[in-house]
Amino acid sequence: MRFAVFISGYGSNLQAIIDAVKQNQIKAELALVVSSKKEAYGLKRAEQAGIKTLFVDPVEFANRQSYDRQVLIHLKEEKIDFIVLAGYMRILTPFFVKKYPKRIINIHPSLLPSFRGVTAIKDALTYGVKITGATVHFVDEKMDHGPIILQESIKIALEDTKETLEQKIHKLEHRILPKSIELFVDGRLKVRGRKVEILEKPQKTSTHNVELAKDIG
């Protein structure tokens, strides 16, 4: 299986995935790293690891769907089977999601369905919750909404700031995101409506591969 990781920034989750692939925890080829930002440090991480990179500039496209259409063309050329969103700061269009049904995995820094969106860590602190965490889920057509694969929680200390809490959550993310990818690649995830069952043994399916429509449009 060949997969792509989408990023927009520093890429610490990307690094955790690269390490898991090198250690053979994830038995799949990380074939492409896609960024929506040219200056994203995650691109350097990928280059240092010998992974092909792709920057597609959103400014050059009239709307989100035309942008996603261009990215899909590259994914088809690279024979990408599934996608991992690791700090990707763009919302995928329904057009894109339909091309990879239940083949897009996202990491989010809260215990979904609480605190969706890009300010999840700040929102948890502001609200005063005692526990937050990280969630890995399949992506559907709604924001931070798809079936949940893994979650892990952490207590919020009174002295926590946005920065210290972010560091704690990153540690959770670096553990559960590679694990979720591993389970997916090993065929151990079965989606039943909104619930994801983790199987002891792989599903008896012929392939995980996704065939994109020949006509991307």
Which residues are marked as active site?
108
The angle, 0 to 180 degrees and rounded to 10, between the axes of the packed helices 12-22 and 41-48 is 20
Where do we find the tokens 């931070």?
Answer: 144
* Residue/partner pairs of 44-52 with CB below 8 Å, 24 or more apart: 45/11, 45/14, 45/15, 45/18, 46/5, 46/11, 46/14, 46/18, 49/18, 49/22, 51/18, 52/78
Exposure pattern of 66-82 as b/e (b: 16+ CB <10 Å)?
Answer: ebbbebbeebbebebbb
At residue 27, the 3 state secondary structure works out as coil
- Greatest extent of the chain over all pairs of C-alpha atoms, in Å: 54
